[in-house]
Amino acid sequence: MTEKLDLKQIIAQGEELGVDDIELFHEESSENNIKIYEGEVESLKSANAKGIGIRVFIDDKMGFAYTSNFEEEEIEKTLKEAIANAEVASADEYRTLPEAVAEVEELDLYSEDLAAVKLEDKIQLVLDLEKAALEYDERIASVDTVGYGDSEVEIRIVNSKGFDKSYRKNQCYAYSYVIAREGEDTETGMAITYGDSVAELTPQKTGEEAAENAVNLLGGQPVDSQEVPVVFPPKVGSMFMYVLSQALTAEAVQKGKSVFAQKVGERVAAKEVNIIDNGLLEEGLATSPFDSEGVPSTETEIIKEGELQTFLYDTYTANKAEMESTGNASRGSYRGIPSVAPSNFYLGAGDKSAEEVLASVDKGFYVMKVSGLVTGGANPISGDFSVGATGRWIENGELTKPVREITIAGNLIDFLQDIDLIGNNLKFNPMIGSYATPTFRVKSLAISGS
Amino acid sequence: MLSKERIDKVLTAALNKGGEFAELFFEKKQSNQLSMESSRLEKVKTGYDLGVGIRVINGEQVSYAYTDDITLDSLLETAKAAGTASKYNEDITINNLQRKNIDSDHQIKIRPETVEKIKKKEILETANNSARNVDQRIQQVMVSYIDYYQQVLIANSTGLLVEDERVRTRMMVNAIASDGEIIQTGRETPGKHVGFELFDEYPPEEVGKKAGEKAITMLEARPAPSRRMPVVVNHGFGGVLFHEACGHGLEADAIQKGSSVYTDRIGEKVANKKVTAIDDATVLNEWGSFVVDDEGYPAEETVLIKDGELTDYMYDYKTAKKEDRESTGNGRRQSYQSQPIPRMTNTFIAPGESKPEDIVSSVDRGLYAKSLSGGQVEPATGDFTFTVAEGYLIEDGEISEPVRNATLVGNGPESLHRITMVGDDLEHAPGMCGKEGQSIPAAVGQPTLLIEELTVGGTEREEG
């Protein structure tokens, strides 16, 4: 429907109204979701949406407005509102649009196969997933939620600096959330599979994995408070990457909200640790040729061999620090103003297998779930974290009894310094964005239990 | 908005393939957001949302489609998409649409869309300055302001046609204090179903000051100890504990799926007899209030737990129909892009008889959780972890020194039995509640109360 809306015309209209610069973020998207309950389709959802976000710059002041209504008078109202918003904003010489680039990377982000999959085939996939979970073990009491989703989005950015590019991508995923019961005891488990096409999804394996996660935790008890080595599989490790990434953006640093401020060039982690953000990574979930303000995506080594190299920048924070943008401007949708955020953010793989990492621990804790971490249990400013945890006890390199109702606490910097063994099984966790780690070991963490 | 004729056509098209029930949800919303950081008004934003969601229900199956193009052609196409999944049924007709006008008790004194942007900016500046003036160690202050005006129209094939307007205004202040070593934050976030008069009740200078003071107190705090102990939870946002650890388990979708510990337990004793818990969307101008819910059902008061006994759950249309009863007016959705599901509105523990100071003085050694921040709960078990934003030790019945980095770890249903004292000082507090990817305004609330034993996880290192 882009042809209905003449974006260049809106740019001209803005310039006539006296803006110094103007940017249009145009988005069209569609999505499909299926949920199954007890072998029947419980809900189907299909949607088409479009919208435009208008950002204007006047005398170093920025204003923003968006609308999903493309009628001419509505667009004009939105443009004028963006201008009125700029008028009350504080002047800030670093608020600029990036200089336009001529070329961006050609990425293959769109699968015709996925776009062509029939509804019945998607439904069958979810039915298979539900069945796999239920049949795994008789203690699986129910599959609480099992579903499939796919989405397609086309983004076009046009600005008064001459940038005018677009890309299209689609993705799909399926997940299940199961409940296991034994006597009075209840536990939950979840697993997710994702890919560029339905063929890449693994309903059987994912169903079994969700069930296994729940069953293995039945009968968990707290352990005594102590300090022990802790092993993090990708699912939980990636959640720590999320917290870490919040403290590694230039915005957090410039606003005094990062435990890493003033530490560039210092050893902030063990020598084995490499933390990377790569917006071009093929297997990532947040891959795109350019970021949300039209800067080409790049690979950024943030921590290299334990040493802090740089932070993540968008145009604004880069201007302020006299650096180059790392292509990390992000907005959730056309409704948002861009700000710095990670793209595909991960702990680089090591050379041990996940089994070797586990086998290395005589007595320790294998974390399978944490609670409270991404909802305030970790403080990116101080680096302190304290989270609820569930998992299994490790003895002589093997998983033994389930453990629950304990907390693990520490500081992010100590955590990074104490990572002493890293696996080679890098895996993304799509539940919280695009974050990944392999299985890794932290030498010592404080556990408080009974 | 949409004409009766147009709605009729769309509902008819939605049932063309034979669904049992069709519903149209129209939404028009204007929102404003201003955020200040480093004493600069950095982000000023306006949003215009307009769209229609169409739902068709057939037995247990729901299909949903939405569009932001409200031309008749597009609406008919969306209706068709929503109707596709239905199996063929006998002829279902649309009852005559009967427009219901319901007067709102929630008076809005100063509509935020009539307030000049510069006035909103002044509110932010005042709160910012006031937080910074608390102490030199306040390093950073973030203040944001949000208001919105949402108009909804809901019509369905039973003949319902109703409209509602919701106006909400909220301010958030986050103050960060540092002494060079430690960094701590203080947060205040007043918000209600009101307009700009919010600031008569919550003057921005006081809100800013409170946030600043909280950050400084926590800066001076020592690490919290780790052990089981009695915990006194302050009134207001402390209610988030009940909301997360028990409230979600009382929503009828969780009940019917058997994924809640409260399934099949109506009439049983699920809490200490001092505990009465209520969901009430009619509380005057409260953050989670409305006139009709997002399925067109009138707001109502639902007593969930009465004197410790489980009395009712929260229902939307679909879950109510399954049990052949009426909805409790808890069908809510984030926007036209989402299906309604059973959600809390203003959910709270009702006031008891104890004086807050008597509750504190009953504790020899324990924790006073003056304010909580976020938390997380395992819905099937009610196991929870909450972070204490502002905590103090209680020693010999008196609030003593502040402690930081305390988390509360426990189980919701178990904790309800351990609430042994309930204060008379009920207060509500606003929050955004997330479920199935939908975020909606919901208020939590409680009086000051005592949980006689709970695990406190702190970062204090054991001696030796």
For residue range B407-436, list pLDDT tens digits in order: 999 999 999 999 999 999 999 999 999 998
Mean pLDDT over each residue of chain A, to the nearest integer:
94
pLDDT, tens digit, 9 for 90 and up, residues B374-391: 777 877 788 888 989 999
* β-pair partners for B47: A66, B31
Q: What is the pLDDT of residue A373?
A: 81
Contacts of A66 in chain B (CB under 8 A): 45-48
d(CA B278, CA B261) in angstroms, rounded, equals 18
Q: Do B376 and A88 touch (CB under 8 A)?
A: no
Distance from CA of A85 to the nearest CA of B (A): 5
Residue with tokens 């067109």: B296
**Residue of B64, B379, B385 with shortest CB distance to A45:** B64
Q: Do A64 and B45 touch (CB under 8 A)?
A: yes
Q: What is the pLDDT of residue B243?
A: 94
Residue with tokens 């004729």: B5
Any alpha helices (H) in B133-263, and if so which ranges? 198-201, 204-219, 240-245, 252-256
Is pLDDT of A21 > 80? yes
- Determine contact, residues B335/B151, Cβ cutoff 8 Å: no
d(CA B79, CA B123) in angstroms, rounded, equals 44
Task: Write the CA distances from B464 to B224, B404, B461, integer angstroms.
Answer: 17, 21, 9
ipTM of the complex: 0.88
Low-confidence ranges of chain B (pLDDT < 50): 88, 462-464
Count of positions (residues) in chain A: 450
CA A249 to mean position of chain CA atoms: 14
Q: What is the pLDDT of residue B91?
A: 58
Q: Does A102 touch chain B (CB under 8 A)?
A: no
- Say if strands A275-278 and A226-232 run parallel, antiparallel, or are unpaired: unpaired
Q: How many CB pairs under 8 A join A and B?
A: 212
Q: What is the pLDDT of residue A1?
A: 40
Q: What is the pLDDT of residue B430?
A: 96
Q: Does B458 touch chain A (CB under 8 A)?
A: yes
A3 falls in which pLDDT band (50, 70, 90)? very low
Residue with tokens 């910074």: B132
Q: Does B260 touch chain A (CB under 8 A)?
A: no
d(CA B358, CA B28) in angstroms, rounded, equals 49
Closest chain B residue by Cα to residue A1: B69
- Determine contact, residues A347/A437, Cβ cutoff 8 Å: yes
Contacts of B139 in chain A (CB under 8 A): 256
Which residues fall within 8 angstroms of residue B367, CB to CB, at 6 or more apart?
Answer: B224, B229, B230, B231, B232, B388, B391, B392, B393, B394, B403, B406, B456
Q: Does A264 touch chain B (CB under 8 A)?
A: no
Q: What is the pLDDT of residue A9?
A: 95
Q: Does B61 touch chain A (CB under 8 A)?
A: yes
Distance from CA of B15 to the nearest CA of A (A): 16
Q: What is the pLDDT of residue B57?
A: 92
Q: Do A37 and B121 touch (CB under 8 A)?
A: no
* Number of neighbouring beta carbons within 10 Å of residue A262: 9
- Determine contact, residues B457/A407, Cβ cutoff 8 Å: yes
Q: What is the pLDDT of residue B460?
A: 75
- Determine contact, residues B171/B204, Cβ cutoff 8 Å: yes
| Residue A181 phi, psi dihedral angles, 5° rounding | -135, 145
CA A350 to mean position of chain CA atoms: 22
In angstroms, what is the C-alpha Rg of chain B? Answer: 24
Strand runs (DSSP E) across B219-349, as ranges?
A: 222-223, 227-233, 277-280, 301-306, 309-310, 331-332, 341-342, 346-349
Is pLDDT of A168 > 50? yes
Q: Do A47 and B185 touch (CB under 8 A)?
A: no
Is pLDDT of A150 > 80? yes
